[in-house]
Structure 1
Amino acid sequence: MNLHISGHHLDITPAINDYVQKKLDRVLRHIDNIIDIQVILSKEPLKQKAEMTLRVPGKDIHAESIDDNLYAAIDLLIDKIDRLVVKHKEKQKKFV
């Protein structure tokens, strides 16, 4: 699994990097065949935005969130992506 965290108008500090990796553990316990994870954190004048794309065999799972606080945006993003991963896994079970 490749993890790439990048910032747009924002420097990725070790604290932000560790926070994202710690939160990703919640998603990784639901799915194990992830090929690649792309995280983009961006800062705009009045809002913070977090985007994530998970590449799994046969599908790309994408989510984004916007909040005033970057850490809150990351939390919302992890909640969304976790729900999407669980939903994807349920669909996979139906077809097996």
Structure 2
Amino acid sequence: MNLNITGHHVDVTPAIRDYVEAKLDRVIRHFDNVTSVNVILSVEKLVQKAEVTLHVRGKDLFAESQDEDMYAAIDATADKLDRQVLKYKQKMQDHAHDALKHQSVES
């Protein structure tokens, strides 16, 4: 998996990098087919913003969040992404089960 963390108007310190990696590790544990992750951390006036694009096979999942605190923005973005990954994973499993049911009915 390829992880790319960039900062716009903010320095990506080792502490922030480790925090982002820890939060995304929790999300990625739910789903094995992650090919790459792009994280953009930015600051505009008093608003801290975190954006994450997660590339999985067949789809790109995107989440963003804004807060006064960068760590809170990262937390909220990771939570949103976690829900999206679980929903996508369930959808893929349901689709596979439907295909198997349909296949066994035709036989």
TM-score > 0.5, shorter chain as reference: yes
Report the Cα distance in structure 2 between the residues aligned to 1:20 and 1:14, rounded to whole angstroms: 10
1:35 aligned counterpart, secondary structure: strand
Report the Cα distance in structure 1 between the residues aligned to 2:83 and 2:73, rounded to whole angstroms: 16
Tell me the C-alpha RMSD between the 2 structures.
0.5
Residue deviations 1:29-79 (CA, integer Å, cap 9, x gap)? 100111110000001102000000000010000000000000000000000
Percent identical among aligned pairs is 59
* 1:47 partner amino acid: V
* 2:34 partner amino acid: I
Number of residue pairs aligned between Structure 1 and Structure 2: 96
* 1:28 partner amino acid: I
1:11 aligned counterpart, secondary structure: coil
2:79 paired with 1:79: yes
Report the Cα distance in structure 1 between the residues aligned to 2:34 and 2:81, rounded to whole angstroms: 13
Q: Could you tell me the TM-score, scaled by structure 1's length?
A: 0.98
For residues 1-96 of structure 1, the aligned pairs below 5 Å read 1-96=1-96
- Give the structure with the larger helix fraction: 2
Instruction: Say which one has the larger Rg.
Output: 2
Per the TM alignment, residue 28 of structure 1 is displaced from its structure 2 partner at its CA by: 1.4
Per the TM alignment, residue 91 of structure 1 is displaced from its structure 2 partner at its CA by: 0.5
Q: Could you tell me the TM-score, scaled by structure 2's length?
A: 0.88
The runs of 5 or more residues in structure 2 that have no matched partner are 97-107
Per the TM alignment, residue 4 of structure 1 is displaced from its structure 2 partner at its CA by: 0.1
The runs of 5 or more residues in structure 1 that have no matched partner are none
* 2:62 partner amino acid: H
